[in-house]
Amino acid sequence: MDARGRAGEAIAAGFLELAGYSILARNARIADVEVDLVARRDSLLVLVEVKTRGTDRQRASAALGPLQRRRLRRAAQALLSRAPWAESLRIDAVGIDWRDGEMRLQHWRGVGD
């Protein structure tokens, strides 16, 4: 992962914490899938994929494809079995686009459906 990707994950984690989530893990390996962030909000367990893009690449919103969604669902099911406190689970994505020296952050909830 490059410096921009690491910075994007740190920004996403900070954003989620400000929104009331607790970050449980970063870059967790679950069921042979790397999950950028694992978060908790009350009894909700959230797996978060972070996509950071610059001007030379596709927008972050277009970067989460069907294969990656399936892998995240597999990781979510494996993790849910290890989190007895979790009443529900959701897969989210945070997209960070850098354009013309400005950052735009978007949080999409329930992208694993």
8-65: pLDDT as tens digits: 999 999 999 999 999 999 999 998 999 999 999 998 999 999 998 876 555 555 667 8
Asked whether residue 76 is domain-assigned, the answer is yes
Q: What is the CA radius of gyration of the chain?
A: 14
Distance CA 113, CA 109 (A): 10
Residue 107, strand partner residues: 94
pLDDT value of residue 27: 94
Query: Could you give the residue ranges of the DSSP H alpha helices within the chain?
Result: 3-18, 66-80
Q: Is residue 113 part of a domain?
A: no
Q: Which domain holds residue 95?
A: 3-108
Domain count, the chain: 1
Considering the domain boundaries, does residue 21 fall inside one? yes
Q: Could you read off the pLDDT of 68-101 as tens digits, one per residue?
A: 888 988 998 898 888 888 888 999 999 998 888 8
- 19, part of any domain: yes
| 60, 22 contact by CB (below 8 A) | no
Q: What is the CATH number of the domain that holds 93?
A: 3.40.1350.10
Considering the entire predicted model, what is its pTM?
0.87
